[in-house]
Structure 1
Amino acid sequence: MAETDAESVRTESQGGDILCLAEFNVEQLLELTQNVSNELSALKAETEMFDKFYKRLDPKDVSPVAVSEVGASALDFNQMRSRRRSKSRSTISERLLGLNINQKLELVQRELEDSKAEARREAEHADRILQGFQATMEEAEIRSSEIKKARYELERDIGKGRKGEGVTAEKILRYMEEKLRARDSLVDKLRLKNAALKVQKKKLQMQLKQKEEMGEVLEEVDFQQLKIENAQCLERIDKRNHDLLQLKLTAGETLQVLNSYKKKLQDTTAESTNLTKEISARNEMLQRIEQEAQQVEQERAKAESVNKRLRKQLGDYRVPEVLDYIHEKMQQEELERNIRAWERKVEIAELSLKTQRRSRKQLKAANEM
């Protein structure tokens, strides 16, 4: 087998000492690599911070900075295998310009102050945006509640027409006139309140001007007292807002319960109306039935009287004798024969009358010709 030589790699440390990497074991090499990585990360962060600081500077404010020389070394590893145990070493040294500790500390402090100021500005900007959004949401909620209230009042005052019926124009005009009067009164109240606030503002400005002219200044104790009073007022305002929110929730729940009861009342009213109509129809039917019963009772009384009379006649009836019956029957037949004979005679007379009338008409027509 060919004989191989072990390679030895050397590097130059910051202090100028020569380190032989072959003398380190694996754990020491890993630790050394980790330290170098940490130093590189720190240098990278320092470079980024210096870059940010340099970009924020104006060109006229940039001045030459005294630097100190620091040594840096770069490793160049070349491994070769040869039978003559030849070694090649290459060491590259570069001289770089750097900042001293005081300059770095000053730079870090200024960067930290700028970062804090920027964070404060961002926080204030975010607070303003958040307050704007909160004000918009509150305004939208107030507007929504006003719209719901106006709709409820419109339905309450004007009322929903029945199916197939419309709302009269007089109700709408009356409702709009009342709303306009209420809006005008509210505008007048707000105008008066605005005027009062302007007067109060002028008074406060005059008092402040007088205090400034008299040289009165507030001391630190007064500011602390004002801060305490402001905190107490804010606490009371938060409590009132919380109470107001609870009252709004209670009012919402009450409104829901009221709407449910109104719906039940409407259903009950509709059912009562249907029952009233049904009762009226039943009463009319009962009256008709009573009238029919009275008529039936009268007819029954009449039929009963007729029945009594017929029964009385039947009770008083006596059967005639056979000879009388035969005699009456013969007379009836004789009368019927006479009736038929007379009817025949009447027919003959009518025929003769018609014949005479016809002949008379013919004679009359002949005379006229």
Structure 2
Amino acid sequence: MSQSQTHVNKGSIISQNSVSQLNDLDELTDAELIKLVKDLKQQIKIVSLENEIFERTILRLEPALMHGVQQALDYANKLQSSSSLAVGSFVKSQTSRFGGLDSFTSPSRMLTSPSKVSTRRVESSAKIGGTVIFGTGPRINVLERSELVSAEMEILVENMEKARKKAAKQHALLKAQLEEIGVRVVDIEKASGFFNKEVIVEGWDKIAQRIPAEIWIRFMTEWVKIADSQIGKLRLRTSTLNTQFSKLKGQIKVKAELSESLRAVDFDKLKIENDECMEIIDKKLQQLGELKKMTGDANLNLTIHKKLMMEQNTYLTNIINTIKDRERMTIELDKERDIIQVQADSLAQRLEEVKKVRLAYEVPDVMDYVCVKSEVTDLKHSVKLLENRVHIQQIALTSLNKKLNSMNV
């Protein structure tokens, strides 16, 4: 079979499959068609990723295998375009036959089923001597695909890590350059401000209306001295940094040589030393735990004694306050005692006087007392009679006054 016959047969098969698919799509709803479109997009995305991974793997392992793949892809595109033209002619004939394009131009008619499309697969091809030969080719199972994806992912991660390290170095370099430029800008601004202040503002001669050359020369001389001193400091710092860099470089070289000369015995020795150090660390940790326990007990005892001491201090404070109150009360009692003593002395003196009066007092005779008492009773009776007479006279006077008043009226 010639190549042109192969094209015709393939185109006729694809056109027949497309026609059968269009006939099957009449029975699907719009929701099913939308779902089919989404599934097709997802499958296309997955197939694109697989193709990309396969292409990366082939280019990495054997780039010569990719020769002629582009021609095969171009041939497949041409084959697909010819099949689409055949399907279009068939659709036109069917629409002219049934009298319209409405039934075929709707979204539910123009979409294809993924189950049908999956059967329409472009077979693998390879270019040999300018001709394209179709064949089934080897299949790749899921495990091999997973291994290919893992290998490509590891390579991508490694490349990303290299790019990240390179970007970090570039970022550090740019950051250092920016810091250096910032320092230079600050120095230039300081120098400009100092120049404006010392030469332009303070060095201006109002009489001559100019800046004297001596001020300019003195400023430049001082500035050169300052620059020389800074250059000397920077040279010293640079030499120190170079020395440190050489030292670190030598240490790195020695470590690299030692790492090359290391053997398994050195690692075993280092492991034994690490084990011994770990045992010592465990012992120290145990001792530290015991010390922590002892410290906790000591802190507990200290807290108890501190609490007791606080109680004793409170009791002592109460006692001191009580002593002060008692002393204050004692002073007040002493004062009251002095006052009472004075009163007692005065009362004692009065008692002595009363005693003296009592000793000097003589009791009168009883008959004299009776006579005096009778006389007092008689006088009281006479006073009472006189009071009654006065009262009667006042009543009579009042009645006479009333009568006189009535007579006058």
Same fold (TM over 0.5): no
Give TM-score, length-normalised by structure 1: 0.40
